[in-house]
Amino acid sequence: FPSVSAHSGSRRAQFNFIADIVESTAKAVVFIEIVDSKRLDFFSGVPRMQANGSGFIIKEDGLILTNAHVVMSKPSSAVNVKMPDGTTYAGVVEDIDMQWDLATIRIKPNVPLPILKLGNTATLRVGEWVAAMGCPLSLSNTITAGVVSSVQRTSRDLKLYGKDMQYIQTDAAITFGNSGGPLINLDGEVIGINAMKLTTGISFAIPIEYAKEFLKKAEDRRKGVIPKGRDGPRRYMGITMLSLTPQIIGDLRARKKAIPNDLTQGVFVWKVVVGSPAHSGGIMPGDIITSINGEPIAGASTIYKIMESSVPVLNMEVYRNGEKMQFTVTPESSF
């Protein structure tokens, strides 16, 4: 077929604005793979993959920003970072904040790497075009586009109590594979970090301002600066949870989940971070936590109050497929 170019006066040149920002930013978006060095695949003999996601380069010397849930893993795990050109580097997790779901990975390249510019959300408007980029399953240049539906969707709106965060809502599809990748505006600036999908057409990204503060605190720690307003390290379990409401209970029963008739409160475990204390303790997505150390769980706020206490071990009563079970989780410290 003859080649066709999009000259400056064509409709393609006028309206292919997504292609323009992809061309200028794609080289800085990477694939992140977490493998267990102690568990080898039976057929290939290579370490088994535990988790994967995306990230993007923010410093030429090899600093990468991603989600914390992408890189949380067991101690025996290794981090591999694959560039768009196929080059693979061994990575090291430098900093992590489970509360904000942010992490940095350090690689050691032989040459300066392309980077993405961090923008801001101060002027971001509802209806503005954005692109969610990532490398799911090592498929580079995986792009979805959409518009901003909200610039201040709160964690309370999403029933994610205890996080005290705001999110960017967009209809650009965010999946497990491009989680950790950049949400980019039409100027090619990163305005958010792809975080989660609620349902088709409703996805959320962490505003870049959280990442900027996270990076500043990480730098301050390396310089020996103690953050203000911090009495001690935060503790985390590694779960995303939803407070049970009559509507959520009804939805679960409609999906033929085994929910006891007398169950009226608790939290539904939506996501469990691989390698986290909750994962190590046996908690699974779909579990319903009804009590901790004998205290009934009215909702997510109850769990966060317990987490703020000095109780070292959490003895949990959990419903799984209608069966009552017991698990023990030992929270760990985040910075």
Measured in whole angstroms, how far is the alpha carbon of residue 260 from the centre of its chain?
31
Of 136, 147, 318, the C-alpha closest to 239 is 318
Residue 123, SS3?
coil
Q: Please state, in angstroms and as integers, the Cα–Cα distance from residue 57 to each residue in 91, 117, 210, 254, following that order.
A: 12, 9, 17, 43
Query: How many CA atoms, within 13 angstroms, populate the side-chain half-sphere of residue 239?
Result: 29
The catalytically annotated residue of 69, 243, 279, 287 is 69
The DSSP string of 240-288 is EEEE--HHHHHHHHHTT----TT----EEEEEE-TTSHHHHTT--TT-E
The catalytically annotated residue of 54, 77, 179, 243 is 179
Q: Which residues contact 136 (CB under 8 A, 6 or more apart)?
A: 31, 52, 53, 54, 142, 175, 176, 177, 178
Q: How many CB atoms lie within 10 A of CB 35?
A: 21
**Residue 69: active-site member:** yes
Q: Which amino acid is at 178?
A: N
- Do residues 146 and 154 make contact, with C-beta atoms less than 8 angstroms apart? no
b (16+ CB within 10 A) / e for 146-175: bebbebebebeebbbbbbebbbbbbbbbbb
The catalytically annotated residue of 36, 95, 97, 101 is 101
Locate 126 and state its tokens. Answer: 């509802």
d(CA 148, CA 172): 8
Q: Which residues contact 112 (CB under 8 A, 6 or more apart)?
A: 60, 61
d(CA 173, CA 167): 15
**Residue 7: active-site member:** no
Residues annotated as part of the active site: 69, 101, 179
